[in-house]
Structure 1
């Protein structure tokens, strides 16, 4: 299946990242990711704190934003993917595509923050707002950050489309027992978490559109150095 082939490529790219073998870089990346999570929660507090959005906010911060939870998932997937042909009988291609895209989005988030961490390590600087702003500008990956936001949006709309199809949703639910029996539960649960996060939403666009709009504004402001002044502060110490 194309989705599973893509997933294998994503994981191969993930395990090739240098922080897996570099303790100092790994520690700095964790600091960057923790700062980013705090920043995202602060930036989108009005959106994230709405009761209907809380599962979706948690999905973004724990599933689509890397960290130790994603590393555990990647280890589990590396173990099960060699037997992945069995998954053809367990889930529809569209569900697996949504899961694969989600994993790709998580890996891209890690890669972009890794580049910030590498710059901070080289400059011997701690993670704080001033240094993160300097790192963003020095690394200069505004276009890549915009791709990241587009990918997050695509993951949400793909997952929502699957969730709103009764036949696809039913087939996926029926596959749970078999997926667990064949030890495919990590991938199944990753996809299912996205479905559950979106279920309380009347419309996924009510969450993802304001989230992406605000993130794109921040990207523009962070990288706008024409006037020589600072952009809107991140609001994170």
Structure 2
């Protein structure tokens, strides 16, 4: 609906240009996905994977120092069913966004968009692979999941997804540790509302608040990456309990 607005907006920085291209890619994918016969299946798979992530990283998820950050990643970032309005608004206000927001915020948003786009592309592929095997997404088990995972033609993208999680996490951490950016975020609330950027501003503020509460973010990110890389290796090698990890990970 707002694709022409994305295309026609003049951008002056590398961060704005990167965000523009990612939003175009994401816009096209979202519209293709919205008309896909397996749309509901992708949402079921997203919920299943979110619960799997919470289970695998239960110790981190329940840790008071990490819970808010992980909750942001799993709900605000990885929640395809609830993001349509926000994503449409981001497309709609992109010309104002690149005018009003500093490059640091545009770069953080670009990383989040890239990770979200890749995650949803991977979910759609899993839905298609399950459908080819006659397995309803609502009946998915760990065994079904691992079977279609191994049949994926996007294994390298799945490995990249883990790296993107780390990159986005580090971006958010640098973002929230910068006191100037925190001040800009607070000061930009009213202008954001006046420019009809409230949805975007609230999204960035939730991410800022969630990560601001966390200590030793590098340790969390490193642990998440090592664990998820081990999960990938377990699945690809046919491990009988791929999501059960050694206690020292």
Give matches, 1:9-24, under 5 Å.
9-17=21-29, 18-22=32-36, 24=37
Which residue number corresponds to residue 66 of structure 2? 53
8 Å contact 2:96–2:195 — kept in the other structure? no
**Ranges in structure 1 where 5+ consecutive residues have no aligned partner:** none
- Between the aligned partners of 1:213 and 1:128, the Cα distance in structure 2 is 24
Moved more, 174-183 or 162-171: 162-171
Residue by residue over 1:133-159, the C-alpha shift from the partner in whole angstroms, topping out at 9 and shown as x without a partner, is: 111011143321121111111111112
- Structure 1 residues 140 and 196: alpha-carbon distance in aligned structure 2, compared to 1, 3 A threshold: same
* TM-score computed with the length of structure 2 as normaliser: 0.84
Q: Tell me the number of residue pairs that the alignment of Structure 1 and Structure 2 aligns.
A: 227
Moved more, 186-195 or 215-224: 186-195
- Between the aligned partners of 1:157 and 1:230, the Cα distance in structure 2 is 31
**Ranges in structure 2 where 5+ consecutive residues have no aligned partner:** 1-12, 245-249
- Between the aligned partners of 1:83 and 1:166, the Cα distance in structure 2 is 24
Which residue number corresponds to residue 158 of structure 1? 171
Which residue number corresponds to residue 81 of structure 1? 94
* TM-score computed with the length of structure 1 as normaliser: 0.88
8 Å contact 1:142–1:219 — kept in the other structure? no
Give matches, 1:124-139, under 5 Å.
124-126=134-136, 127-139=140-152
- 1:217 maps to which of 230, 233, 242: 230
For residue 230 of structure 2, give the secondary structure of its aligned residue in structure 1: helix
Moved over 6 A (4+): none
- Between the aligned partners of 2:134 and 2:28, the Cα distance in structure 1 is 24
